[in-house]
Structure 1
Amino acid sequence: MKPTIVIIGAGSAVFTRELLGDILSFPELRSVRVVLHDIDAERLQTAEAIARATARQAGADPEVVAIADRLRALEGADYVINVIQVGMHEATARDFAIPEHYGLHQTIGDTIGIGGIFRGLRTFPVLEQIAADMARVCPDAWLLNYTNPMAMNVTYLGSIAPQLKVLGLCHSVHWTMDGLCALIDVPLDEVTYWSAGVNHQAWVLRWERDGHDLYPLLDARIAADPELARRVRVDMYRRLGYYPTETSEHSSEYVPWYLRHPDEVKRLRLDIGEYVGISEQNMAEYTRVRAELEAVDALEIDTSSTEYAPQVIHSLETGTPRVIAANIVNDGLITNLPDGLAVEVPTLVDALGAHPMKVGDLPPQCAALNRSFLGPVELTVCAAVNGDPRLVRAAAMVDPNTAASLTVDQIWHLCDDLTTAHGDLLPESLRATVAL
């Protein structure tokens, strides 16, 4: 029987197109059943047109169905790919504009930080509904989550639906290794590597070619080009000894050292508010693709996206073994990070399932930063699970960039302002402002 793949939030046109292009590139998956779901009727219609045009271009013959009712869409699913963005561009814009009024700078704002905290709080109610629906109609399905904040979302799902099979998937490790190999002019397919930590702040612990450490080549490359040192993650690597697996813009938000200092922002060429522009570009791309679909029958397939979800599905269906970076609730996988919170570790995927690999202890300096990252994660999830709005403020107070930039009174008032602004997108128990 052909597998059923459900995409929740399929109106994310660019991502849906890339995922389907990758899925249909596998001969064994060319006749899968694809179910598309979105709460926006126009975007759902566009997603269906994208799916059919992509299939034509691939020469594939999947069964494509668009269903507006989520419970019906999930019936009989084998794989559920979650790409929702609760509140869309308008909520993202609020996550940047309101903190900026207080002097709090962000670049991407979707992982931790004040933006990540409130994005998580907007997303949790929908995740709870998806988990409940899956328990009813597809309890054995895999939930493949792409939605940020990844660590918060995977931790939350582990807390409210521990029976659910969840993998958090992010391409940051792959593209980090691709970029590092390009820097030293070594083909990616000739290297082996081992990375672990938390999503958007994992660490390249080993990086080798033919058994030889490649870090000395990176050191020589950085020494030969002073401009390379003007990037956050190169700066972090030189000071910590291990390269972080997310972009400089992302990495700057998870530590207290950079964004509050104008000289550091300039030195490290940081783009304040970058994601607002990316979000606007995504909206424009959606409009462009929708117009393109009126003129063509097929859409060009991007074969370079190398997303993990299609690989996971292919491995589970065919037994082809693969090792990917996956986000999973820690259960002794990284021994100097807390259990019960999401970590990112090498994971073998085959016909028998997903098998996260035990990493043991991270280098102490890496684990220390990861623990400061996980503080806001844990408190935000606890706030939602316990219905305690004070824990939202506590999450912001222990967030590294927020704490370095604002006073505690400012943090408290900022959380009140964002709570009011996001209104009924937040869990009902967390919608009140909190008096001291």
Structure 2
Amino acid sequence: MSFKIAIIGAGSVGFTKKLFTDLLCVPEFRDVEVALTDISQHNLEMIKAILDRIVEANGFPVKVTATTERRRALEGAKYIISCVRVGGLEAYADDIRIPLKYGIDQCVGDTICAGGILYGQRNIPVILDFCKDIREVAAPGAKFLNYANPMAMNTWAAIEYGKVDTVGLCHGVQHGAEQIAEVLGAKSVSELDYICSGINHQTWFVDLKLNGRKIGKDELIAAFEAHPVFSQQEKLRIDVLKRFGVYSTESNGHLSEYLPWYRKRPDEIARWIDMSDWIHGETGGYLRHSTETRNWFETEFPQFLEQASKPVDPAKRSNEHASHILEALETGRVYRGHFNVKNNGVIANLPQDAIIESPGFVDRFGINMVSGITIPEACAATCMASINVQRMSVHAAVSGDIDLLKLAVLHDPLVGAVSTPEEVWQMVDEMLVAQARWLPQYAHAVPAAKDRLSRSTVKTRDWAGAARRNVRSIEELRAEKAALKKAV
């Protein structure tokens, strides 16, 4: 088969390498063209060198191109994959730093909460530019696969305003299933059957079977509490499981910031998180992890290049959806996964316009969702709170309506549990001014925001958060990796 796949934000080096290697695990895809595009020429050069080394080492005829001219990369593309981070780590640091001044302690801050909402404001105008290019220069009927967060907001904007055939993709469901299989003593996740439904990062395992035997709430709770690692790392998720009756897909740290109950007071945060890894609730954990990963890659690039010389092993193909979806669409080999699409009746007790995450099957006819699912009422109520925030955030991002943006932030569950309306109004002004270069739709509102900030009487504080760690140096990372290798 010969067609073109474009990857926008290809400078996300590790993830792009994974997607590319997955594609090469499909025998029919070894003659495709993969067009890389990014705003960073430096990052493009690094990832192209790695992919070229993979192609050379395996003798595949696949063609790899790289350009900072996005439309050129999209010309004639049948599939477009986005993994962009608009504003990079600089803007992301403000997503964490500024809300902390108002008492809002986030672990990740890329989905909802104050950071995720502003992240969406930066991303959505760019996503709509992508969609315009796709409509104008990509292959007719091109499919847009969005991996970029905030997943629901970006996908919502691409479908409702971008008018492009879009599906949002995430790996939270797969990771949650792997945990459940492990605590239940399964030899492989393939022994586990499950239906997982909700919205991205708040998807719920509403039905579970292990080798055909139904797994109930009590058995699952007991299995998690008996696990020597997860019982400590996933305390919040286990508490939600006990109260809601179903397990959530998202990590302990991520889930903690979507709810109004666990991070509302600094002294409470320590009860529910675990500091063994960033993902379990550390303040600004993903920002630290992303910074360390980027620094490590820049320093250890020769090592990554050397690793790219290894043969591609189809047995090590990842569980990321993209290659499996393309394989099903192109070959007809059916793939079952969990996808982010417009609801339209898929989940009966969530709004029709919402972007939901739920099971579907892919074949030559496209992505075919399983409709008519009803999720537990408590799960629906929690999802609804986020959906309302997402809807306002998307509409604000498209219109540049600062009042609607502030209302979206005000209605966020964690923000509302921590901050007063006056604090929210000032915080949004401060974030808007700090990130103005990435928020062109709010250019008209920035002067007034600056003026309000100069006259504000709302008090803030210099706070690093309840569970902050410093970014580790390359030397510290090397020592840690050496110690782990020695222990194994």
**TM-score (norm. length: structure 2):** 0.85
The equivalent of 2:128 in structure 1 is: 128
Tell me how far apart the structure 2 counterparts of residues 244 and 430 of structure 1 sit (CA, whole Å): 39
2:279 is the counterpart of 1:275: no
- Matched residues, number: 435
Q: Does 1:404 align with 2:417?
A: yes
Give, as a single letter, the amino acid of the residue that structure 1 aligns with 2:222.
A
User: Contact 2:25–2:312 at 8 Å: present in 1 too?
Assistant: no
What is the identity percentage for the equivalent residue pairs of Structure 1 and Structure 2? 35
Matched, 1:21 2:14: no
Deviation at 1:299, TM superposition (A): 5.5
Q: Quick one: structure 1 residues 347 and 289, their matched pair in 2 at CA, closer, same or farther if it must change by over 3 Å?
A: farther
**Cα distance in 1, alignment partners of residues 189 and 271 from structure 2:** 30
Q: What is the alpha-carbon distance in structure 1 between the residues aligned to residue 237 and residue 198 of structure 2?
A: 15
Matching residue of 2:215? 214
1:259-338 → structure 2 map (5 Å cutoff): 259-269=263-273, 270-288=281-299, 290-292=301-303, 298=309, 303=316, 305-338=318-351
Tell me the SS of whatever aligns to 1:432.
helix
1:112 pairs with 2:123: no
Alpha-carbon deviations, 1:326-351, whole Å to 9, x = none? Answer: 00011111121111121001111111
Q: Distance in 2 between matches of 1:191 and 1:359?
A: 22
The SS at the match of 1:292 is helix
* Aligned residue in 2 for 1:39: 39
Q: 1:136-193, CA deviations, whole angstroms, 9 ceiling, x for partnerless residues?
A: 012411101000000111111122123x111100000011101110111112111211
Report Cα offsets for 1:296-350 as digits up to 9, x if no partner.
7725768253211011111111111011110001111112111112100111111
- Contact 1:53/1:297 (<8 A) preserved: yes
Three-state SS of the structure 1 residue aligned to 2:445 is: coil
Local SS of the residue matching 1:46: helix
Give the 3-state SS of the residue equivalent to 1:335 in structure 2: coil
Q: How far does residue 58 in structure 1 lie from its aligned partner after superposition?
A: 4.2
1:27-426 aligned within 5 A: 27-138=27-138, 139-162=140-163, 164-186=164-186, 187-215=188-216, 216-224=218-226, 228=231, 231-269=235-273, 270-288=281-299, 290-292=301-303, 298=309, 303=316, 305-426=318-439
* Structure 1 residue 53, shift from structure 2 partner: 1.7
Give 3-state SS (helix, strand or coil) of 1:72's partner.
helix
Cα distance in 1 for partners of 2:443, 2:250 equals 31
Change (3 A) 1:285 1:56: farther
- Show CA shifts across 1:403-423 (max 9, x none): 101111111100000000001
CA distance in 2, matches of 1:88, 1:286: 16
Q: 1:122 and 1:108 mapped to 2: Cα distance?
A: 16
1:50 and 1:299 in contact (8 A); partners too: no
Aligned 8 A contact 1:144 1:168 in 2: yes
The CA deviation string for residues 381-403 of structure 1, in whole angstroms up to 9 with x for no partner, is 11123331101100110000011
Secondary structure, in 3 states, of the residue corresponding to 2:368? strand
User: Over the residues paired in the alignment, what is the CA RMSD in angstroms?
Assistant: 2.0
Q: Which residue in 1 is equivalent to 2:278?
A: none
* Structure 2 CA distance for aligned equivalents of residues 89 and 250 of structure 1: 18
1:206, distance to aligned residue in structure 2 (A): 0.6
Distance in 2 separating the partners of 1:272 and 1:210: 39
After superposition, the Cα gap between the structure-2 partners of 1:205 and 1:294, relative to the gap in structure 1 and judged at 3 Å, is closer
Q: Secondary structure at the match of 2:122?
A: helix
Aligned equivalents of 2:321 and 2:225: distance in 1?
A: 34
The 1-side partners of 2:300 and 2:359 are apart by 35
Summarize deviations over 1:222-270 as a string: whole Å, max 9, x none. 4545971762111111110011111010000101001122343111123
Q: Which amino acid aligns with 2:285?
A: E
How many angstroms does 1:371 deviate by? 0.1
Preserved CA contact (<8 Å) 2:198 2:380: yes
Distance 1:355 1:28, change over 3 A: same
Answer whether contact 2:328 2:364 (CA < 8 A) is retained: yes
Amino acid at match of 2:428: C
Q: Are residues 12 and 300 of structure 1, via their aligned partners in 2, closer, same or farther at CA, if it must alter by over 3 Å?
A: farther
Contact 1:423/1:431 (<8 A) preserved: no
Instruction: Confirm or deny: 8 A CA contact 1:373 1:399 kept in the other structure.
Output: yes
> How far apart are residue 21 of structure 1 and its match?
1.1
Q: Can you list the C-alpha shifts for 1:12-45, whole angstroms capped at 9, x where unaligned?
A: 1000111111111111112211111111111111
Q: Equivalents in 2 of 1:194, 1:365: separation in Å?
A: 17
8 Å contact 2:183–2:227 — kept in the other structure? no
1:20 and 1:54 in contact (8 A); partners too: no
Residues 424 and 431 in structure 1, CA contact (< 8 A), matched pair in contact too: no
In the alignment, which residue of structure 1 is the partner of 2:459? Answer: none
Q: How far is 1:363 from its partner?
A: 1.2
Output the amino acid matched with 1:355: N
Distance (whole Å) between structure 1 residues aligned to residue 149 and residue 373 of structure 2: 26
Q: Which amino acid aligns with 1:374?
A: I
Alpha-carbon distance in 2 for matches of 1:330, 1:231:
31
Q: 1:90-134: per-residue Cα shift (whole Å, max 9, x none)?
A: 111111111112211000000000110011000011111100000
CA separation in 1, counterparts of 2:156 and 2:294? 29
Given that 2:124 and 2:398 are in contact with CA atoms closer than 8 Å, whether structure 1 keeps it comes out as: no
**Pair 1:60–1:338, CA change in 2 (3 A):** same
